[in-house]
C-alpha cells in the first residue's frame, strides 16, 4: 500500500485473528502495534498497550469467532484503553460482527446486536469497518459511522476463475431468505437461479415469535368480546354497514404455517449447483440442501460464503456430504477446520480491509469499494 502516513496510525489486534491483522499491517507497510491481551487465572481480560497512542488514529482488528464473548470483551477493553490514553480516533475493524444474527426480536428476548452496538459506541469506538452484515439494517443500531464492506467481488472472481465450465452453473438459494443474494450473483454471472423451499427451510421469518401467542380461552374470549363491544363506537349508517365486515366474538385464532415437502424451484439437472450465503456455521441445512440437489441431478455442488464459522462437527459433516467444495474468506480463522476437511478453501480479503483503512485514514471516498454493488449483495 502507498500514500499513507505512518507517523500517526497504529494497528493493534486482540487474540481473535492475529494472522489477519499481520497480513493487513504488512499490506499497508506498517508494523503491528505493541498490544498484549491476555487472561488472568480468574478469566478477567487484561490489555497492555506498550506504544504511545496519544493523538493517533487507532485501528483495532478483532473479528468474531466461536469464542464470541471473549472477543467482544477484548475489543471493548482495547477501545476503552485507547480512549483513556487520548487517542484521536478509534476504528474497530470487525470483519465478522458477533451476534449479528440476533438482530430481530425473538419471543420475549431482546435484540442483542443493538445492545452490542451501544456497548461499542460507549467504549470509545468512533468508526466501524465490518463485512457482509447478516442484515444491512444493523448499521442503524450504531451511533457512529459503519462501513459494511462486501466480499462478493472476491467470490464472483473465484467462480469465474476456479470453477471449470461455470457457464453450466446455476446459483442456488438454500431457502427463500437467501434468494435476494443468490439473485444478485445470478444476475452478475448471467446464470440461472434455483430456490430450495419446503420443510427444511430455516428462514428467520418462520421462527416462533412470542407475539404469535395462542388466543385466550373461550370463556375469556367471550368476556373480552363483551368488553370490546361495550367500547365500540356508534354503529355506522345503513349504507356504511353494508361495507363493514365483522368477525366472530373474540380474537381470531392465528393459523399455523404448514410447510410443503422439500422442493426445488428451478432446474439443476446436469448443472453445477453453487449455493451462496453470508455465513456457514451449523451445516446441517447445507448438507440437506446438497442431498436434495444431488437427488435432482446436480453434477457438482459448491458452497460459497463470506464467513466460515464452522462450529461443532461441521468439518466432519461437510466431508461426508455430497458437497464438492466449500469456499469461505478469512474473516474468521478456520485453519483447524481445514485440516479436518480437505474440501474447505480460503479466499484472502486482507487487501480489501487494508484499502478501506487507507482510504479512511487519508479521508478519501469509500464509494470506490462499493462500485457496482447492489443492496442485495
- pLDDT (0 to 100) of residue 217: 52
| Listed residue (278, 257, 283, 254) closest to 198, CA to CA | 257
Q: What is the pLDDT of residue 182?
A: 96
Rounded (10°) CA dihedral 213, 138, 377, 281: -70
pLDDT at position 375 is 41
Query: d(Cα 19, Cα 339) in Å, to the nearest integer?
Result: 17
Selection from 270, 264, 268, 275 nearest residue 173 by Cα: 275
For residue 169, give Cα distances in angstroms to 123, 127, 155, 190, 327. 47, 39, 14, 10, 16
The candidate with the shortest Cα–Cα distance to 74, out of 83, 84, 64, is: 64
Q: What is the pLDDT of residue 233?
A: 55
Digitized pLDDT (tens) for each residue of the chain, 377 residues in all:
555 666 799 999 999 999 999 999 999 999 988 899 999 999 999 999 998 999 999 999 999 999 999 999 999 999 999 999 999 999 999 999 999 999 998 888 899 999 999 999 999 999 999 999 999 999 999 999 999 999 999 999 999 999 999 999 999 999 998 999 999 999 999 999 999 988 654 555 555 555 555 555 554 455 455 554 545 555 556 666 667 776 666 777 778 777 777 889 999 999 999 999 999 998 999 999 999 999 999 999 999 999 999 988 999 999 999 999 999 999 999 999 999 999 999 999 999 999 999 999 999 998 877 765 544 55
d(CA 4, CA 8) in angstroms, rounded, equals 10
Domains of the chain and any CATH numbers: 9-149 (3.40.50.2020), 153-200+260-347 (3.40.50.2020)
Q: State how far the Cα of 276 lies from the Cα of 174, in Å rounded to an integer.
A: 8
- Outline where DSSP puts E strands in 309-354: 325-329, 344-347
Amino acid at each position: 500500500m502507498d500514500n499513507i502516513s505512518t507517523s500517526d496510525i497504529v494497528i493493534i489486534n486482540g487474540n481473535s485473528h492475529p494472522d489477519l491483522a499481520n497480513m493487513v499491517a504488512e499490506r499497508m507497510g506498517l508494523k503491528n502495534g505493541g498490544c498484549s491481551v491476555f487472561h488472568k487465572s480468574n478469566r478477567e481480560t487484561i490489555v497492555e498497550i506498550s506504544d504511545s497512542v496519544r493523538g493517533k488514529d487507532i485501528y483495532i482488528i478483532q473479528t468474531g469467532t466461536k469464542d464470541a464473548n471473549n472477543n467482544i470483551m477484548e475489543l471493548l477493553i482495547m477501545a476503552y484503553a485507547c480512549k483513556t490514553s487520548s487517542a484521536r480516533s478509534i476504528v474497530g475493524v470487525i470483519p465478522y460482527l458477533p451476534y449479528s444474527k440476533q438482530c430481530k426480536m425473538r419471543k420475549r428476548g431482546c435484540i442483542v446486536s443493538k445492545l452490542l452496538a451501544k456497548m461499542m459506541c460507549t467504549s470509545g469506538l468512533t468508526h466501524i469497518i465490518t463485512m457482509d452484515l447478516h442484515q444491512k439494517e444493523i448499521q442503524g443500531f450504531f451511533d457512529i459511522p459503519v462501513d459494511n464492506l462486501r466480499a462478493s467481488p472476491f467470490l464472483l472472481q473465484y467462480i469465474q476463475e476456479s470453477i471449470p465450465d461455470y457457464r453450466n452453473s446455476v446459483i442456488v438459494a438454500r431457502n427463500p431468505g437467501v434468494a435476494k443474494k443468490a439473485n444478485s450473483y445470478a444476475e452478475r454471472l448471467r446464470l440461472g437461479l434455483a430456490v430450495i423451499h419446503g420443510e427444511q427451510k430455516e428462514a428467520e421469518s418462520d421462527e416462533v415469535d412470542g407475539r404469535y401467542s395462542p388466543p385466550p380461552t373461550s370463556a375469556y374470549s367471550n368476556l373480552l368480546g363483551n368488553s370490546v363491544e361495550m367500547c365500540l363506537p356508534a354503529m355506522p349508517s345503513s349504507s356504511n354497514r353494508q361495507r363493514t365486515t365483522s368477525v366472530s366474538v373474540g380474537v381470531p385464532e392465528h393459523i399455523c404455517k404448514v410447510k410443503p415437502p422439500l422442493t426445488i424451484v428451478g432446474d439443476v439437472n446436469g448443472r453445477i449447483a453453487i449455493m451462496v450465503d453470508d455465513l456457514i456455521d451449523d451445516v446441517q441445512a447445507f448438507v440437506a440442501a446438497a442431498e436434495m440437489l444431488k437427488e435432482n441431478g446436480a453434477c457438482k455442488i459448491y458452497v460459497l460464503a463470506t464467513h466460515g464459522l464452522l462450529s461443532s462437527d461441521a468439518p466432519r459433516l461437510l466431508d461426508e456430504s455430497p458437497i464438492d467444495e466449500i469456499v469461505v474468506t478469512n474473516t474468521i480463522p478456520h485453519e483447524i477446520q481445514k485440516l479436518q476437511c480437505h474440501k474447505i478453501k480460503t479466499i484472502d480479503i486482507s487487501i480489501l480491509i487494508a484499502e478501506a483503512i487507507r482510504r479512511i485514514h487519508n479521508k478519501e471516498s469509500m464509494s470506490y469499494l462499493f462500485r457496482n454493488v447492489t443492496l442485495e449483495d
